[in-house]
């Protein structure tokens, strides 16, 4: 389907989803969130897609936050539903079972950074600004920011960003563990595409297993997480890709994974 607020493109097994509201700094409104739900459902269902890149259109912003002009017209009940819709989107991305890379090409504030935290890897341009400024609006993060920040980077980072509301630059974000890598803005698209290509060449079921095991273990006691890891390990041992990977290693050649 075509989208009013997204640009979707494919390069081999990599799908790129770009939020395309540059005049609004790609702010998240109900339409954007609804279309992102559909776009990620499509990516999940398409076996030809092995990796997803999520980025923002234009040069200034990944996503500068939720659309405040829309929010101010909402009732408390509508705002509650808006929060739940956004949280469900971040959870959907987090549990997609395929690696999702956020290419943070500018401002990632409020709902924008919450969206990035739903992704599995985050690459930031050296010009990016990252933060949770909701406290300056008399609010708290509503799309999972307090909880994912806590789990991603610890209590200290969560309190620093959420209590002060001040954005941090890309280097500080890297030091806090909020992003995986910082690259020159001019190189962000190329670096992200190269990383996505490397991931797309790996065994899809193994990538899914890693994502599931880390997600499960992050919410479970250590013994439960270890048990889940063992189950995933054993299931993957029965796949064609495991046999291909081990054979290629022994034969000193590059493996070709089929997802079976």
Residue 22 has pLDDT above 90, yes or no: yes
pLDDT in the model for residue 218:
83
Residue 130 domain-assigned (yes or no): yes
Average pLDDT, the chain: 95
**194 and 131 co-located in one domain:** yes
> What angle in degrees, to the nearest 10, is found between the helix axes of 76-94 and 111-118?
30
CA–CA distance, 151 with 147 (Å, rounded to integer): 6
How does pLDDT run across 81-93, given as a tens digit for each residue?
A: 999 999 999 999 9
Q: What is the pLDDT of residue 219?
A: 86
Residues 95 and 122 in one domain: yes
Q: Assess whether 161 and 218 both reside in one domain.
A: no
Is it the case that residue 1 has pLDDT exceeding 80? no
Q: The domain that contains 62 carries what CATH number?
A: 3.90.226.10
Place of tokens 């997204």: 6
Q: Is residue 77 domain-shared with residue 169, that is, in the same domain?
A: yes
160 is catalytic: no
Residue 196 lies in a domain: yes
7 bridge partner residues: 18
**51 shares its domain with 178:** yes
In the chain, count H helices and then E strands: 11, 10
pTM: 0.94
* Predicted pLDDT at 245: 94
**Could you tell me the CA-to-CA distances from 107 to 115, 132, 180, 251 in Å, in that order?**
12, 11, 16, 47
Instruction: Kindly report the CATH number assigned to the domain that includes residue 241.
Output: 1.10.12
Residues 36 and 97 placed together within one structural domain of the fold: yes
- Average pLDDT of span 101-124: 97
Same domain, 191 and 102: yes
- 233 and 149 within one domain: no
pLDDT at 119: 98
Structure tokens at 224: 């439960």
Contact assessment for residue 82 and residue 30, using Cβ atoms and an 8 Å cutoff: yes
Residue 234 resides in a domain: yes
* Residue 258, domain member (yes or no): no
Instruction: Name the nearest CA neighbour of 69 among 7, 25, 35.
Output: 25
Does residue 257 fall inside a structural domain?
Answer: no
Range of the domain at 244: 204-250
Q: What is the pLDDT of residues 167-215, one digit of tens each?
A: 999 999 999 999 999 999 999 999 999 999 999 999 999 999 999 999 9
Do 168 and 81 fall within a single domain? yes
Give mean pLDDT, residues 118-138: 97
Given 114, 219, 229, 251, the catalytic residue = 114
**Helical residues (DSSP H) of the chain, grouped into ranges:** 30-45, 68-71, 76-94, 111-118, 145-153, 155-164, 170-175, 188-200, 204-218, 222-236, 240-250
Active-site residue, selected from the candidate residues 11, 35, 59, 134:
134
pLDDT for position 217: 86
**Number of structural domains the chain divides into:** 2
Tell me: the pLDDT tens digits for 198-209? 999 999 999 999
- What is the pLDDT, as a whole number, of residue 249? 94
Q: Is 70 marked active-site?
A: no
Both 188 and 215 in a single domain? Answer: no
User: Do 190 and 218 belong together in one domain?
Assistant: no
pLDDT at 138: 95
Please report whether residue 220 resides in a domain.
yes
Q: What is the predicted pLDDT for the residue at 35? A: 98
**pLDDT at residue 9 is higher than 90:** yes
Residues 223 and 141 in one domain: no
**End residue of a domain, out of 200, 215, 234:** 200
Q: Give the pLDDT of residue 2.
A: 86
């Amino acid at each position: 389907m075509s989208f009013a607020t997204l640009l979707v493109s494919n390069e081999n097994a990599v799908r790129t989803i770009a939020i395309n509201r540059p005049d609004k700094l790609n702010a998240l409104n109900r339409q954007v969130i609804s279309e992102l739900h559909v776009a990620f459902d499509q990516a999940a269902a398409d076996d030809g897609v092995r990796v997803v890149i999520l980025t923002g259109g234009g040069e200034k912003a990944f996503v500068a936050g939720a659309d405040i002009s829309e929010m101010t017209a909402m009732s408390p009940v509508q705002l509650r539903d808006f929060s739940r819709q956004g949280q469900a989107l971040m959870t959907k991305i987090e549990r997609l079972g395929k690696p999702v890379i956020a290419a943070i090409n500018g401002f990632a504030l409020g709902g924008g950074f919450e969206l990035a935290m739903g992704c599995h890897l985050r690459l930031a341009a050296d010009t990016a600004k990252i933060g949770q400024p909701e406290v300056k609006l008399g609010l708290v993060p509503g799309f999972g920011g307090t909880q994912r920040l806590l789990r991603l980077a610890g209590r200290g980072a969560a309190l620093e960003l959420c209590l002060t509301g001040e954005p941090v630059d890309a280097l500080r974000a890297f030091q806090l563990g909020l992003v995986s890598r910082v690259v020159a803005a001019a190189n962000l698209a190329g670096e992200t595409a190269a990383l996505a290509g490397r991931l797309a060449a790996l065994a899809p079921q193994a990538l899914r297993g890693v994502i599931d095991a880390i997600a499960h273990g992050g919410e479970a006691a250590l013994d439960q997480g270890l048990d889940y890891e063992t189950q995933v390990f054993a299931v993957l041992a029965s796949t064609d890709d495991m046999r291909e990977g081990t054979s290629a290693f022994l034969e000193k050649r590059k493996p070709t994974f089929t997802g079976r």
